[in-house]
Structure 1
């Protein structure tokens, strides 16, 4: 058994299937001889749950810079109290969303300076970056059809207009192009099991390297 932890993050626009694929990946990881922690941002800690309620479910307006700062505050606490201790124990950390979400949603989506948004999170987490980031890429129109079919209330970000989600997608793809050694980009409109197999193949490679 490796003594080195492995940190995996799952990213993508709303409706890309992150919840489904994270659950399938968690089920597969649980069959390995490793301790696995499944967490999320925002909300991977007690403090994070309070912040999650504000940034996703607050009914009123939140200034874009305030929103970015709230996500960074959650991230700072989450990495310090949940992620880093798990990695130091040699665990596998599977995490739904990380700083790439802030760059895409608060940077591109809210039209803030993406470089500043990323720098804020890097400062908040002392430069912590995942070993592997799975990006589930989907056309925003197809994603909206999925969300509509799910027949559930939208949170503050899901409710944004198509132009917002188009900017988010473009930002994600730019991030992946800039860091190909960390990202694996997967077409999220493929069959669920095909996507899961592609993700597992990338994680197996990372586990072997670790």
Structure 2
């Protein structure tokens, strides 16, 4: 983003449901704040008031949603989120730590829903004016292991978590393909490792970038 001030940093966490994104984002926020940095924690969908409404539709609507309509809803949330929250924070020189971004749409709506991945990516880039994070941490986890974690939480599944195993395997393959295509932006980590090992690897990568 050309409108950010020096020091502004944008990190996104990606991966399948149950891979530990929220835990790692919280640990990274704590690390930055100990250095005196201002951190904005956010997520997609749901990082804004508009996003909360969209999140309820795409994750908790009881009926079916046409795949293209679902992709457009995510893109609408993303456009509003970047314009009203992410860009202003980066312009202030703050650190944005975000749970999911456009790579989720490419993986879930592109591969998972079997839409055209290139079109999904282009839609998000158009919606956000081409905005991309400084670093995307992909927490890679076998879908069977991820399902065990979700089952252990004993919480109701949302629409995407409830999809069949084949869906989640397509999502994982798509994530790994995205990371292979943009190695300079992605950090791929084995999400089955201990939590502290993963957080140390994230900090090591960011220490080099800083």
Question: After the TM superposition, which residues 87-98 of structure 1 pair with which residues of structure 2 at under 5 Å, given as runs?
Answer: 87-98=90-101
- Structural mapping, 1:32-181, within 5 Å: 32-181=35-184
Aligned to 1:6: 9
Cα distance in 2 for partners of 1:97, 1:168 equals 13
Q: Helix, strand or coil: the match of 1:30? A: helix
> After the TM superposition, which residues 10-29 of structure 1 pair with which residues of structure 2 at under 5 Å, given as runs?
10-29=13-32
The corresponding residue for 2:201 is 198
Q: Secondary structure at the match of 1:90?
A: coil
Structure 2: runs of 5 or more not aligned: none
Residue by residue, what CA displacement relative to the aligned partner does 1:6-29 show, whole Å, maximum 9, x if unpaired? 000000001111111111111111
TM-score relative to the length of structure 2: 0.96
CA RMSD of aligned residues (A): 0.9
Aligned residues: 206
Q: Deviations over 1:39-67 (max 9, x none)?
A: 11001111000000100111110000000
Q: Extract structure 1 runs of 4+ deviating beyond 2 A.
A: none
Q: TM-score, normalised by structure 1?
A: 0.96
Stretches of structure 1 lacking an aligned partner (at least 5 in a row): none
